[in-house]
Amino acid sequence: MEFDFAAEQPKFLMLMYGLIAFVAVVGGLLLLLDVVPSWFARRREAQLVAASVGGGVALPRRRKQREGAFAFFFLLPTLLLLAIGLVVPAIRTTLLSFMDSSSTNWVGLQNYEWMFSEDSIVRVLINTLIWVILVPLVATGFGLIYAVLVDKARFEAVAKSLIFLPMAISFVGASIIWRFVYAYRGEGDQIGLLNQIVVSLGGEPKQWLLESPLNTFLLIVIMVWIQAGFAMVVLSAAIKAIPADIVEAARLDGVSPWQMFWQITMPSIRPALVVVVVTLSIATLKVFDIVRTATNGNYDTNVIATEMYNQAFRYQENGQGSALAVFLFVLVIPIVIYQIRNLRKQREG
Amino acid sequence: MTTATPTVGVGAQATEPVTRAGRVRKRLNSRTATLVSIVIAVLWTIPTFGLFISSLRPENEIKTTGWWTFFSNPQVTLENYQEVLFSTGSSGQLASYFINSLAITIPSVLFPLAFASLAAYALAWMNFKGRDWVYIGIFALQIVPLQMALVPLLRFFSTGVTVAGVQILPAWDLVDEQKFAQVWFAHTCFALPFAVFLLHNFISQLPGDLMEAARVDGATHPKIFRTIVLPLITPALAAFGIFQFLWVWNDLLVALIFAGGGNETAPLTVRLAELAGTRGNEWQRLTAGAFVSIVVPLIVFLSLQRFFVRGLLAGSVKG
């Protein structure tokens, strides 16, 4: 039971190096941009003075040029990091997906054929599809209903905070919370809430996470539990932004709450609704932590992101892992195109 | 991709219904709505609450009876926390991982914040050729899943860059706690597109007169950036900072790949996932451990919720 604090010191030292590097890079950049141009400016001033004394030549067009140089340095860290960390790797991953596991020989489309023919991978693709359909639908639906409900309620802020709270919890933490809800004991009292409810209703306790296909849906519950708060907050803000006079006019016309919802609320919050669905779809496509923590992808619960991790980093199958990553990217594209079209329509409308 | 103007927390239209019947109906309505929404909110919190109660119960109790029996037989102990935080070996040592989480998170928030605000300022207020294209390019990178970058980026760290047999950049060859640098690097890269997008939204809406006046007074761009722009965009910086903090603190995938698994570098999430895998029924450790990992983001979130919500409402797709 001894915790050795001294052993932790190198970490703090490393953290300090990191912070020093931060100050040096950012401060250095700003200083450089501050000092160098003012030196130039002083020289130019001197030139100008000389020029005006000498009989006034036209002002040189140097301002725009200098602005370009400035912009280059402002953008340099971002562009450099994006190139090293995202652009080049993404291109390389695409190339790797056409190569074998050790990335030495070209194999054409073999990795993609493997993806669609291997039974376990087809299962992975189906699971991902179930996730992507259910999570945005249920989370947005719940978020919308709750946003409408809470709009009229008292203690609104508290209620919203409680729904929103899971957003702060890590997926790993949330998975442990829910594993505890699903926990199973063979004999004696149950310690998991779900089995306790089942037993008190006269049922038999079950090992919920081992039962395919039910377990996939139970994992989806975790994701919905986390993301519903996000949907609720965005939609609630959209509902509050509906102009009061529209609502008032409808009310004076004697519109029922039901009609009010479908004819006033829904059309007004459509853009927000699209944003929520798109964001949730993309987040769901990439879901990794929940599946890994709750079942580690066993018992038919695997999804693309976990399988990609397994292939590339556990089995060293770089080609197959890369193919899965590329497929994930391909799946995101239609969602984004839909979003862009929507935005454009909105701007025109 | 911005949604409607954020007005969270502001009481909605308080228009009085005209008739007396209408007033009564509205009050009833709001009473049911209040009741239902509170019931749902409580249900939503029960799983977390159960975990918290369990983490305070003795090991034997957790493993044999449900946490709801706590209320008829309350026994409180801090032993679980003691064990999971400070005992060495395979059972916990979470204090060590907690420090790792901190050491990973702080620079991973600061770097993208600084780089992205510089870039966003340049993209919003400087004139140069191809400005719009650069912005669209960075904006579009938001949709690239980070899975696309993992394998090559790991190779970049472990073997360096070789073009046509010539070593251009050496391998990083980091050991133990030095691997933090890899994680900082990866998180910074992955955060930049969203950060630039969010901050650009904000910076580009600053009044142009202000910039023009400063320029006429002879202020250079770095000066304008430091003295005018930075103070004005603090809310946006806070929004992104919180967003990124929660993202990095709660991240599992990036840490798993770039930090390694040992107690020299791995953050809490990695350790917890490991405990859940190998000791899935040791609930006294899992409950306490999960709570240790939750508590910091919870505090950050609850105290700064306003900024976070604003960030969400201005935001969109996170890469």
Same structural domain for residues B49 and B111?
Answer: no
Task: Tell me which residues of chain A, numbers 157 to 176, contact chain B at a CB-CB cutoff of 8 Å.
Answer: 157-159, 161-173, 175-176
Same structural domain for residues B155 and B36?
Answer: no
Please tell me the predicted confidence (pLDDT) of residue B315. 54
Of the three residues B31, B51, B77, the one that is the final residue of a domain is B77
Q: Which of B102, B149, B177 lies at the smallest CB-CB distance from A85? A: B149
Please tell me the predicted confidence (pLDDT) of residue B23. 59
> Is pLDDT larger for residue A186 or for residue B286?
B286
DSSP string, A109-173: THHHHHHHHSHHHHHHHHHHHHHHHHHHHHHHHHHHHHHHHHHT-SSHHHHHHHHHGGGGS-HHH
Q: Which of A290, A308, A315 is nearest to A217 (CA)?
A: A290
What is the arithmetic mean of pLDDT over B265-277?
87
- Which of A56-65, A266-275, A290-299, B152-161 is the least confident region? A56-65
Same structural domain for residues B192 and B272?
Answer: yes
Residues B183 and B267: their CA atoms lie apart, in Å, by 11
The answer to whether the Cβ–Cβ distance between A244 and B15 falls below 8 Å is: yes
Give me the number of domains chain B comprises.
2
Q: Which residue of B has its CA nearest to A189?
A: B65
* B157 and chain A in contact, CB less than 8 A: no
The answer to whether the Cβ–Cβ distance between B188 and A85 falls below 8 Å is: yes
DSSP string, B43-103: HHHHHHHHHHHHHTS-HHHHHHS-GGGGGTS-----HHHHHHHH--GGG--HHHHHHHHHH
Please tell me the predicted confidence (pLDDT) of residue B3. 40
What dotted CATH number matches A112-348?
1.10.3720.10
The answer to the question of residue B84 being in a domain is no
Give ipTM to 2 decimals.
0.84
The answer to whether the Cβ–Cβ distance between B150 and A67 falls below 8 Å is: no
The answer to whether the Cβ–Cβ distance between A175 and B276 falls below 8 Å is: yes
Mean pLDDT of chain A: 84
The yes-or-no verdict on residue A244 having pLDDT over 60 is yes
The yes-or-no verdict on residue A21 having pLDDT over 80 is yes
Collect all residues of chain A within an 8 Å Cβ-Cβ radius of residue B131: 71
Same structural domain for residues B33 and B153?
Answer: no
* Percent of chain B residues past pLDDT 90, beyond the cut: 16
In this predicted model, what pLDDT tens digit does every residue of A157-172 receive, in sequence order? 888 888 888 988 889 9
* A189 and chain B in contact, CB less than 8 A: yes
In this predicted model, what pLDDT tens digit does every residue of B199-257 receive, in sequence order? 888 888 888 888 888 888 878 888 888 888 888 888 888 888 888 998 999 999 999 99
The answer to whether the Cβ–Cβ distance between B50 and A2 falls below 8 Å is: no
The yes-or-no verdict on residue A39 having pLDDT over 60 is yes
Same structural domain for residues B131 and B188?
Answer: yes
The yes-or-no verdict on residue A249 having pLDDT over 80 is yes
The yes-or-no verdict on residue B318 having pLDDT over 80 is no
Same structural domain for residues B152 and B247?
Answer: yes
Same structural domain for residues B215 and B294?
Answer: yes
B68: confidence class by pLDDT, cuts 50, 70, 90: confident
Please tell me the predicted confidence (pLDDT) of residue A218. 92
Same structural domain for residues B259 and B171?
Answer: yes
The answer to the question of residue B215 being in a domain is yes
Residues B6 and B299: their CA atoms lie apart, in Å, by 23
In this predicted model, what pLDDT tens digit does every residue of A269-294 receive, in sequence order? 888 888 889 889 988 988 899 999 88
The answer to the question of residue B4 being in a domain is no
What is the arithmetic mean of pLDDT over B54-69?
82
The yes-or-no verdict on residue B91 having pLDDT over 80 is no
The answer to whether the Cβ–Cβ distance between A86 and B144 falls below 8 Å is: yes
The yes-or-no verdict on residue B317 having pLDDT over 50 is no
Please tell me the predicted confidence (pLDDT) of residue A178. 92
For residue B59, what are the domain limits? 20-77
Collect all residues of chain B within an 8 Å Cβ-Cβ radius of residue A90: 144, 148-149
Q: Which residue of B has its CA nearest to A19?
A: B107
- Which of A85-89, B21-25, B29-33, B93-97 is the least confident region? B21-25
Torsion of CA A202, A224, A122, A118, to 10 degrees: -90
Please tell me the predicted confidence (pLDDT) of residue B10. 34
The yes-or-no verdict on residue B105 having pLDDT over 90 is yes
Same structural domain for residues B163 and B256?
Answer: yes
The yes-or-no verdict on residue B110 having pLDDT over 90 is yes
Q: Which of B4, B178, B269 lies at the smallest CB-CB distance from A170? A: B269
The answer to the question of residue B7 being in a domain is no
Same structural domain for residues B248 and B169?
Answer: yes
The answer to whether the Cβ–Cβ distance between A74 and B301 falls below 8 Å is: no
Please tell me the predicted confidence (pLDDT) of residue B304. 83
Q: Where in chain A is the domain with CATH 1.10.3720.10?
A: 112-348
Same structural domain for residues B194 and B63?
Answer: no
Task: Tell me which residues of chain B, numbers 181 to 240, contact chain A at a CB-CB cutoff of 8 Å.
Answer: 181, 184-186, 188-190, 192-193, 196, 220-223, 225-226
* A61 and chain B in contact, CB less than 8 A: no
Please tell me the predicted confidence (pLDDT) of residue B2. 39
Same structural domain for residues B143 and B286?
Answer: yes
The answer to the question of residue B207 being in a domain is yes
Residues A2 and A236: their CA atoms lie apart, in Å, by 50
CATH of the domain at B271: 1.10.3720.10
One-letter amino acid for residue A306 of the chain: T
The answer to whether the Cβ–Cβ distance between A78 and B116 falls below 8 Å is: yes
